[in-house]
């Protein structure tokens, strides 16, 4: 099949993890000598938002073998990737005749919210992509968390056998001095200042960042006003505006990375967690992230975090050794250099419609949530 190796369809107004994933994938394919069509789409998902595309995504057109295609009439590619399901579920303006050996929706976001309500309908998303581009895509979840949720809709959708995980160039994440190299230990977390990325109760907000005497909290990206409204007191924390310092520099100043979030939030992947691992920082995480990071981190409830964090400091050499081992493993498992090889495996992948394995909802519950979402959409139109 002539044409491009990879066609990437993406709403270029996205920032954050999904945009970083697009950049990593296309950069890796370009470095491997592949040809890539980057196709911006315009979605009603961003109606009312500023029409400002992500300049870093558009700059991918400067890479060897990458073509930025605006409003093409037809595209032929070995594989097509529709990044982030919500824009396609909301509907896109483009109508393109696409021919591809394989097409997948890279699910950077799970369908169910933290409260159990449905944010998008996987079945409708496939139908809308088919109507706009002439292909019925599979689903490629970015993590075990997303896979469990999407499996709730099988056998009506097909999933890729491998998760299409976020990728990193390990060379860009070089750790310096190991954790616990200084007399005062620092615990912290980083990310955009989204209140949903924080626990709902004051005690659960404060506990993971307060291990006790001899510790300091440093947060990169903190919604202080919203946390105070929940009863928390961040006045003792060193709060650094998000984007004001390089993430690598910030993480190098931490001794422990601690991340817990709202009951209303469903974390699809947790790119910031992997960044901390690449910088050889021990990670203490919300148990809901265990399907994604498994043996690479420690999991507990927020109130259990202070004791666990203190134990990490009590055995610094063992903690440092574990962090080096974790970095070595994730630097291999999540390396951007693996993208071209996974791309080839995807083309040979039989996929699966099986419901076998952990899933978030029964067929009846998934159907009920889907009907409920359709009724909500009908009321809004």
State residue 2's pLDDT score: 59
Residue 51: give the domain boundaries: 4-167+339-380
Number of domains in the chain: 2
Whether 269 and 368 map to the same domain: the answer is no
- The distance from CA 5 to its chain's CA centroid, rounded to whole angstroms, is 24
Could you tell me the CA-to-CA distances from 378 to 73, 131, 343, 374, 381 in Å, in that order? 31, 20, 38, 6, 5
Mean pLDDT score of the chain, rounded to an integer? Answer: 94
What is the percent of the chain with per-residue pLDDT over 90, rounded to a whole number? Answer: 82
Whether 175 and 142 map to the same domain: the answer is no
Whether 89 and 237 map to the same domain: the answer is no
Whether 314 and 177 map to the same domain: the answer is yes
Query: Under the phi-then-psi rule, with left for phi > 0, alpha for psi from -120 to 50, and beta for the rest, what region is 64?
Result: beta
Q: Give pLDDT tens digits for 271-292.
A: 999 999 999 999 999 999 998 8
Model confidence band, residue 381 (pLDDT cutoffs 50, 70, 90): low
Whether 79 and 177 map to the same domain: the answer is no
Whether 112 and 184 map to the same domain: the answer is no
Collapsed DSSP state (helix, strand, coil) of residue 22: helix
Whether 216 and 282 map to the same domain: the answer is yes
State residue 180's pLDDT score: 97
Q: Give pLDDT tens digits for 247-273.
A: 999 999 999 999 999 999 989 999 999
Q: Where are the alpha helices (DSSP H) in the chain?
A: 17-31, 55-58, 85-90, 122-133, 144-150, 202-206, 224-229, 247-252, 271-278, 290-293, 305-314, 316-333, 339-348, 363-380
Whether 79 and 160 map to the same domain: the answer is yes
Of the given ranges (144-148, 274-278, 316-320), which has the lowest mean pLDDT? Answer: 144-148
Whether 12 and 135 map to the same domain: the answer is yes
Q: Give pLDDT tens digits for 16-61.
A: 788 989 999 999 999 999 999 999 999 998 887 778 899 999 999 9
Q: Does 1 score more than 60 pLDDT?
A: no
Whether 146 and 235 map to the same domain: the answer is no
DSSP 132-169: HHS---EEEESSHHHHHHHGGGTTSS-B-SS-----B-
User: Can you give the CATH number for the domain in which 324 is found?
Assistant: 3.40.50.2000
Higher pLDDT among residues 362 and 87, named by residue: 87
Whether 120 and 261 map to the same domain: the answer is no
Domain boundary among 333, 349, 368: 333
Whether 104 and 157 map to the same domain: the answer is yes
Model confidence band, residue 15 (pLDDT cutoffs 50, 70, 90): confident
pTM over cut 0.85: yes
Q: Does 239 score more than 80 pLDDT?
A: yes
């Amino acid at each position: 099949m002539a044409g491009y190796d990879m066609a990437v369809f993406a709403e270029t107004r996205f920032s954050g993890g999904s945009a970083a994933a697009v950049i990593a994938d296309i950069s890796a394919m370009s470095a491997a000598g592949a040809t890539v069509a980057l196709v911006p789409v315009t979605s009603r998902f961003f109606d009312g938002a500023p029409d400002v595309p992500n300049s870093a995504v558009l700059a991918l057109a400067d890479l060897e073998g990458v073509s930025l295609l605006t409003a093409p009439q037809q595209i032929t590619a070995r594989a097509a990737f529709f990044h982030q399901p919500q824009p396609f579920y909301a509907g896109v303006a483009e109508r393109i005749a696409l021919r591809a050996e394989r097409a997948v929706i890279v699910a950077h976001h799970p369908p169910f919210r933290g409260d159990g309500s449905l944010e998008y309908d996987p079945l409708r998303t496939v139908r809308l992509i088919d109507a706009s581009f002439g292909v019925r895509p599979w689903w490629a979840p970015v993590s075990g968390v997303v896979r469990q949720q999407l499996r709730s809709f099988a056998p009506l959708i097909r999933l890729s056998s491998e998760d299409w995980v976020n990728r990193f160039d390990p060379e860009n994440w070089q750790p310096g001095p190991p954790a616990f190299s200084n007399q005062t230990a620092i615990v912290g977390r980083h990310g955009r200042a989204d209140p949903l990325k924080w626990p709902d109760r004051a005690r659960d907000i404060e506990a993971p960042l307060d291990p006790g005497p001899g510790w300091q909290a440093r947060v990169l990206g903190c919604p202080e006003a919203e946390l105070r409204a929940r009863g928390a007191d961040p006045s003792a924390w060193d709060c650094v505006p998000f984007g004001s310092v390089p993430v690598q520099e910030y993480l190098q100043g931490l001794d422990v990375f601690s991340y817990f979030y709202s009951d209303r939030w469903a974390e699809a992947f947790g790119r910031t967690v992997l960044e901390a691992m690449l910088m050889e920082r021990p990670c203490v995480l919300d148990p809901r992230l265990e399907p994604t990071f498994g043996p690479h981190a420690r999991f507990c409830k927020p109130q259990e975090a202070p004791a666990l964090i203190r134990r990490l400091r009590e055995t610094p050499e063992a903690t440092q050794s574990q962090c080096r081992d974790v970095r070595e493993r994730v630097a291999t498992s999540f390396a951007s250099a693996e993208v071209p090889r996974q791309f080839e495996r995807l083309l040979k992948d039989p996929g699966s419609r099986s419901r076998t394995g952990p899933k978030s909802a029964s067929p009846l519950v998934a159907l009920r949530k889907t009907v409920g979402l359709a009724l909500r959409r009908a009321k809004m139109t």
